Chain A
Amino acid sequence: MSGALLSVQDLVVHFHQDEGILRALEGVSFEVHRGRTLGLVGESGCGKSVTARSILRIVDRPGRIVSGRINLDGRRGEPPIDLTALPANSRRMRAIRGGRIGLVFQEPMTSLSVNYTVGNQIAEVVREHQGLSRAAAHARAIELLRDVGIPRPERRVDEYPFQLSGGLRQRVMIAVALAGDPDILIADEPTTALDVTTQAQILNLMRRLQREKNLALILITHDMGVIAEMADEVAVMYLGRIVERGPVDQIFHAPRHPYTRLLLRSIPSVLAEPRTPLATISGSVPHPYQRPSGCPFHPRCPDHIPATCEAAMPAETATADGGCVRCYAAEHT
C-alpha cells in the first residue's frame, strides 16, 4: 500500500548477551497510515515492545538493530527518512522522537519525573520541539491538559505527578506525548496498569485524539479485547516475528494462523457461559534463548506438519485483504 506514514521493513534486532544472542526481532515488517490504528498483539517475549523501542531508537543496551529499514515519511514533501540510518542520539533523531513520533508507556509513574510539575514536563517538550517562549509553552501545556480531558487544567498544571491518580497520570503522559505535535503515537500497553473503568476512559480519549489530530496510532497490548475495540489493522507477533497481519475483522472472525486462532479461543470472555473450560494452547512460550527451529510455534501447533514446520521458517505470504501470514498449514487451506 502506498502513502504509508511509517513503514518498517524486515527489522532485525538482536541483544548480544553473555549467555548468547537473544533474537528479539527476526524480520518484522508493517506499515502505519494516517488516522489509522495498528494493533501489535502478542504474549510476553514476542518482541512487541522492542519493535516500539526500535522505531524510536531507544533500544536498551546491548540491543542493536542488525538490519532492516524504518522509513518515516517526510513532512511537507521532503524525502522519507530511514530511522535506522540515523545515530540514536543525533539531533534529527531527537527531533523525531517526541516531535514526529510520540510515545505513551505502560506505567506513567516511571516515565514522568517526580521532581517537576506536570506543566513543566509538558512545556519542556513543547519548547524543545516548537521553540515557543516560556509563557507560550505554559499556556500550551494547559491547553494540552484540557485536550486530554483533565478537569481544571489551570490548577493541575502546577501539580506533581504523585499528586495525581493513575488515570490522570496516564492522561498527562498522553499530553506529554502530544506536546511535540506528532504524526504518530506509539502506545505501549497504555491501559494495562489501569482499572477497567479508567481503561475505558483512556481508550475513548485516544480514539477522540486520533480523530481530531488525524494521528497514526500503534497500539501495543496483550489484551485481545483492547485490540478488538481499537485497531483497524492487527499484527499478531510470536517470538520476534509477525505471524499474521490483517484487518481487525478478518483477524477476529477468519484468523489464518493457528496461533491467532488458538489465542482467540483461549481468552476468557464476558460473553461466555459461566464455568466453561477454555480452549488452551499446550505448553508455554519458550525462552527466547531456546527458540525452536523452523517455525517457532511448531511444538505447540495443532496443525503442525511433520518434517516441514521444523525445517524452515515459512515465508510471509500476502493475502487478498492486504495482510499476510507465515504458516505452511495456512497455505494449504
Chain B
Amino acid sequence: MTLLEVKDLRKYYAIRRGLLQRRVGEVRAVDGVSFQIARGETLSLVGESGCGKTTVSRCIMRALDATSGEIRFAPGDAPPVDLVTLPRSRLRSVRRHMQMIFQDPHASLNPRMTVGDIIAEPLLVNNVGTAADRRDRVLQLLELVKLPRAAYSRFPHAFSGGQRQRVGIARALALDPKLIVADEPVSALDVSVQAQIVNLLLELQDRLGLSYLFVAHDLSVVKHMSDRVAVMYVGRIVEVAPTRRLFSKPRHPYTEALLSAVPKPDPRLRSERIVLQGEVADPADPPPGCAFHPRCPYAVDRCRVEVPELIETGDGHMARCHRVQELTLSGVG
C-alpha cells in the first residue's frame, strides 16, 4: 500500500537581478519528480550535490513550499492529503506522522536543552499524555535507540556524534510516525559509528514498520539501506529500480558512471573506471535535450535535442534515456 506518492513535483527559484529585483530567469532545483513509497519500504534518493535531492525532502516536510505538483500522503486509513496544498493550520496533525533525521547531529539538537527535553518536545507540543507519561515514553525511546537511561538529564554536548544521532532518531520516533525522512543521516559520522547507525535504522524499520525516504550521496550506505533507489541528476530522476537491479544492471549511463566511480574497498578490484568528463550541468542553465548528454559517453544526436522520458523496462525498473533499450551497461556486485 502506498504511503507517499509524489507526482510531478517542481521547485523553481527565481533569479532576480538589479535594483528592482527583476526576474531574469529561474533555477529548476526540482523539475518534475515523481515516485512512491510503500508502507515499510525504504526508497533512497541519490545524486551528487545540487541534484535536488535535499530540496525534494524539504518539500515533502513542507520546510519548503513546492512550486507545483502533488505530494499525497496517507498515514492512516483516511484518504490521502496533498501536502503541497494543505493549509498550514492542518499541517501539524499530518506532520506527526512524518519526521526527519538530520545530517549534522551537532546542529540538529538544541544545545540548551537536556536530552530528555529534546526527545519529549514533540510529545509536549502535541499535548501527548501527562508529564509522567512523557517521561516514561522518553525512557522507552532511549532504550529503543540503545542509549543509557542516564542520558535523560544530560546535555547534548556530553555525547559523541553517534550518540547524538541516536538522540535525533529517538526524537523523530517520539510521535510514532509512519514515514521518516533521513537526510544524509550517517555522512557526518566516523566509519565505525556509521555502521552502528545504519544497523539501528534497519532494526527500527523491522520493529516499527517504518517507511524511510533516505537521502544520500554515498552509494555504499544506500546499498545497505534501501529496497529501491532513485538516482537524480540536475533536478530530475534519471533512474529508479529495486536496489539489487540498479546496482548490478544499471540502465542509465549516469548510474553506470556513478557506480564505477565509487571506490571499492578492495585493492584487488582496482580497474579502469569510467571517469566522467566535465562538470554537473548548471540547473539555472541546463543543456538542451538530455541534461546528461555533454558528459555521456553514449550520447547520440537525438540526446542533444530531445528531453527523454522515464521509460519502464520491466520489474519496476525505469530509466530516463533514449537508448535504454540498446545499451548494455555494467554494474557492480
| A residues adjacent to B (C-beta < 8 A) | 43-44, 165-168, 195-201, 203-204, 222-229, 231, 248-249, 252-253, 262-264, 266-281, 284-285
Contact = CB atoms under 8 A, between A and B. Distances in A.
A270 B190 contact: no
A168 B221 CA distance: 27
Interface string B312-333: 0000000000000000000011
B306 interface: no
Contacts of B198: 268, 277-278
A243 to B, nearest CB: 13
Interface string B266-297: 11111001011001100000000000000000
B177 to A, nearest CB: 21
Interface residue tally of chain B, by bracket? 35 or more
A248 to B, nearest CB: 5
B192 interface: yes
A262 B162 CA distance: 17
Contact of B243 (A43, A166, A275): A275
Interface stretch (B3-11, B86-94, B131-139, B212-220): B212-220
Given A195-B49, A196-B217, A284 B190 contact: yes
Contacts of A44: 190
B82 interface: no
B2 interface: no
B265 A224 contact: yes
B192 A275 contact: no
B264 interface: yes
Interface of B: 42, 48-49, 160-163, 190-196, 198-199, 202-203, 217-221, 223-227, 243-244, 247, 257-270, 273, 275-276, 279-280, 332-333
Contacts of A269: 220, 223, 264-265
A113 to B, nearest CB: 23
Contacts of A271: 264, 266, 332-333
A279 B192 CA distance: 9
Given A196-B261, A228-B266, A270-B247, A275 B224 contact: yes
Given A197-B257, A275-B227, A43 B244 contact: no
A270 B280 CA distance: 23
Given A270-B219, A284-B160, A199 B261 contact: yes
A224 B191 contact: yes
Nearest to A230: B263
B192 A249 contact: no
A225 B264 contact: yes
A268 B225 CA distance: 10
Contacts of B263: 199-200, 203, 223, 225-226, 228-229
A165 B194 CA distance: 29
B275 A284 contact: no
B332 A270 contact: yes
Nearest to A205: B275
Contacts of B195: 266-268, 278-281
8 contacts: A198-B279, A201-B276, A229-B270, A268-B194, A271-B266, A271-B333, A274-B224, A274-B243
B242 to A, nearest CB: 8
Nearest to A265: B195
Contacts of A274: 223-224, 226-227, 243-244, 247
B154 to A, nearest CB: 15
Contacts of B332: 270-271
Given A284-B190, A285-B192, A197 B220 contact: no
